[in-house]
Structure 1
Amino acid sequence: MKHISILPLYEATLASIDTTHQLFSRINDFMHYQGKPPVYQIEVVGLTKHTKLASGRYSIQTDRLIDELDKTDVIVLPLLCSEFKRAIHLNLPYTDWLIGQYRQGAEILCLCVGSFYLASTGLLDGRKCAVHWAAVNEFKQLFPAVNVVDNVLITDERGIYTCGGGFSYLNLLLYLFEKQLGRDIAILAAKMFEIDLDRKSQNAYAIFIGQKQHGDELVLKAQELIEEDPGANWTVDRLCQKLCIGRRSFERRFKARTTNTLVEYVQRVKVEFAKKQLEGGQKTINEIVYATGYIDLDAFRKVFRKVTDLSPVEYRKKYGGYR
């Protein structure tokens, strides 16, 4: 039997703690129905007997204190819901215990932006971490030593699991069940809780938010030009002429500040513009593509799929509203 320690981190969401507890418990129920012994012992393990969550809105009772637990098998870090630097500071008392348990062989299951706290411990340095698309820029600024991947839903590296996206932790739990207990159990859990089992990427959900907290006024001006007129034919040469700057040096400068090349930034803005048009209104897909400044429909479709993992037609079906 594996021991599961769910940490009621300060500023965590009650939903992520309770849902995780429910899913692990339901796996034990599945085992019982099949005449098998339970596979998980699930406990909420905290610093105090009662922990306040969500800035005091809720209180949760712990099963055990961390000082009373010498060894665990899986540690769950729940989703955080406040200003991340504050949450990190409040949860520092967990850090030595967390690192010690990991070094003893415990696996760490980190739910969405619980990764901000996990990264603060140093355990993610040099490793991959899935981060919610809306938090990527802030995460990269705070933790440059972490290899951020914002296009996948789940990472699994040396006993540390992360996921990007608010409720993608449901998929992370299914991933763990499949890894530990087999595909059949994961499918059963997915059906019982009606979770899309094979969701692998954040791309179809992400809204492009260009990095603008860099303090470079010239780069910011270029970003504003691109975003104010997404249908324009923004080539690198045209942007550099507009800004009166040399191409080679500005391309390096732009990439360093935004993590995107100029071409990538233009493409992402055009795709975001097209997504909004596809979500509402009656324009045809061809009309929308032409409005982005593209003449070659196939070229736009390739760029659109690269960014979203969907074709424009598939995207409209997914987000175009009820018909």
Structure 2
Amino acid sequence: MLQIGILLIQHYKLLSLAAITDVLETVNKIYLQREAAAPFKITLVYTQESKSITYAFPNYHSEPLEQGSRFNLVLVPSFTTDNLPQSVADNVAFLPWLQSQYQQGAEIASFCTGAFLLAASGLLNGRIATTHVDCCKAFSAAFPSVNLLPDKTVTHDEGIYTSGGATSTFNLLLHLLEIHLGIETAIRTAKIFAVDMGRDKQHYFSTFQPTRQHNDELVAATQDKIETKYQEAGTIEEIIKDIPSSRRNIVRRFKQATGFTPIEYLQYTRIEAAKKMLEQTGEQMTSIILSSGYNDPKAFRKVFRKTVGMTPTEYREKFNASAHRS
């Protein structure tokens, strides 16, 4: 029987914890229906600060991390808050425990933004990892020693696993099932939960959400110019020519405040506009290309594929609601 410890973290995401426990319970039931021993023993591990949360899960065995039990597999669910540094700080007691579990032979898997807690333990340093696609920039800034692969749904590096956003939780769980119980169990579970086992990329789920949480009026004015003038096919210099500052100063301050150069910001703004048109309209591709600020179809398709991870046509087929109804 595999001893599984699930961290009962503060600010846990209910969907994440529910998905993890539901899949593990379902597999146990599959084995019991075959009159075989259940393969998993599930334990919720809590700190003094998260002890009160155990009352929400009366059907599970729970224990304090001070008890010192050894696990074969430790699972770190996702956070529900946007303030990830604070979420990690509120769960700092888990960090030495995670290190100890790994040193004693446990495998460790984080789901979605749970990767921030796992990375804070130092166990991801020098290793590959992924997390929610919209949190990758913040993750890289906080943990530069981690080899982040933003487009990956699942990563595996020396007994440490991570998954991307939300439903990627299921992909990682299926991966773990295949490793520990075999492909047959993984496939049966995938069918029960209607999960596509072949999905290994997540980049096309990302949304460009530029920050406005800075006090630089020059940068804010530049953002406004780009966001209102992006359809005017031309250079970034033409778009921001009325900003009262030198190009060098604008680029320096813009990069410092937003994390992007003005040219990158313009590119992402245009691609995001194209994505929305592909999702919501039936416009011809030529019209979409021109409306998003490009006048060269070949250049547009190249940038779109590089940014989104698929062609514009593939994106429309995947996300356009009217296309799905037809």
User: TM-score band (shorter)?
Assistant: 0.7 to 0.9
The amino acid across from 2:184 in the alignment is D
Partner of residue 56, structure 2? 59
Mean Cα displacement is larger for which, 263-272 or 108-117? 263-272
- Superposed CA offset, 1:59-102 (max 9, x none): 22451423334311110111111343443233222222221111
Indicate yes or no: 2:305 matched with 1:317: no
Indicate yes or no: 2:80 matched with 1:81: yes
Q: Could you tell me how far apart the structure 2 residues matched to 1:249 and 1:186 are?
A: 55
Q: Could you tell me how far apart the structure 2 residues matched to 1:179 and 1:244 are?
A: 59
Partner of residue 106, structure 2? 106
Partner of residue 170, structure 1? 170
Contact 1:6/1:76 (8 A) holds in 2? yes
Q: Could you tell me how far apart the structure 1 residues matched to 2:256 and 2:193 are?
A: 43
Q: Could you tell me how far apart the structure 2 residues matched to 1:148 and 1:239 are?
A: 33
The CA deviation at 1:18 is 3.1
Q: Could you tell me how far apart the structure 1 residues matched to 2:8 and 2:153 are?
A: 23
The amino acid across from 1:289 in the alignment is I
Q: Where do residues 138-149 of structure 1 align in structure 2 (5 Å cutoff)?
A: 138-149=138-149
- Superposed CA offset, 1:147-198 (max 9, x none): 4432222222232211221221111111222233333332221111111212
Mean Cα displacement is larger for which, 82-91 or 5-14? 82-91
The amino acid across from 1:77 in the alignment is V
Mean Cα displacement is larger for which, 41-50 or 127-136? 41-50
Q: From the superposition, tell whether residues 217 and 234 of structure 1 become closer, same or farther in structure 2 (CA, over 3 Å).
A: farther
The amino acid across from 2:157 in the alignment is E
Q: From the superposition, tell whether residues 33 and 313 of structure 1 become closer, same or farther in structure 2 (CA, over 3 Å).
A: same
The amino acid across from 1:74 in the alignment is L
Mean Cα displacement is larger for which, 313-322 or 187-196? 313-322
Indicate yes or no: 2:141 matched with 1:155: no
The amino acid across from 1:94 in the alignment is F
Partner of residue 128, structure 1? 128
Partner of residue 289, structure 1? 289
Mean Cα displacement is larger for which, 58-67 or 14-23? 58-67
Contact 1:10/1:51 (8 A) holds in 2? no
Q: Could you tell me how far apart the structure 2 residues matched to 1:200 and 1:220 are?
A: 37
The CA deviation at 1:108 is 1.1
Partner of residue 227, structure 1? 227
The CA deviation at 1:118 is 2.2
Contact 2:190/2:196 (8 A) holds in 1? yes
Q: Could you tell me how far apart the structure 2 residues matched to 1:242 and 1:154 are?
A: 45
Contact 2:10/2:50 (8 A) holds in 1? no
Q: Secondary structure at the match of 2:123?
A: coil
Q: Secondary structure at the match of 1:6?
A: strand
Contact 1:50/1:60 (8 A) holds in 2? no
Q: Could you tell me how far apart the structure 1 residues matched to 2:145 and 2:216 are?
A: 23
Structure 2 gaps of 5+ residues are none
Provide the TM-score with structure 1 as the length reference: 0.84
Partner of residue 205, structure 1? 205
The amino acid across from 1:231 in the alignment is Q
Partner of residue 182, structure 1? 182
Q: Secondary structure at the match of 1:204?
A: helix
Contact 2:19/2:169 (8 A) holds in 1? no
Mean Cα displacement is larger for which, 139-148 or 294-303? 139-148
Contact 2:225/2:240 (8 A) holds in 1? no
- Superposed CA offset, 1:232-256 (max 9, x none): 2242443575546666776566556
- Superposed CA offset, 1:287-316 (max 9, x none): 111112222223222222222233222322
Q: Could you tell me how far apart the structure 1 residues matched to 2:292 and 2:49 are?
A: 57
**Count of matched residue positions in the alignment of Structure 1 and Structure 2:** 320
Partner of residue 72, structure 1? 71
The amino acid across from 2:285 in the alignment is I
Partner of residue 272, structure 1? 272
Q: Could you tell me how far apart the structure 1 residues matched to 2:162 and 2:223 are?
A: 31
Q: Could you tell me how far apart the structure 2 residues matched to 1:50 and 1:225 are?
A: 46
Q: Could you tell me how far apart the structure 2 residues matched to 1:224 and 1:266 are?
A: 11
Q: Could you tell me how far apart the structure 1 residues matched to 2:270 and 2:49 are?
A: 52
- Superposed CA offset, 1:104-143 (max 9, x none): 1211111111122223323333433312133334434444
Contact 1:240/1:250 (8 A) holds in 2? no
Q: From the superposition, tell whether residues 152 and 258 of structure 1 become closer, same or farther in structure 2 (CA, over 3 Å).
A: farther
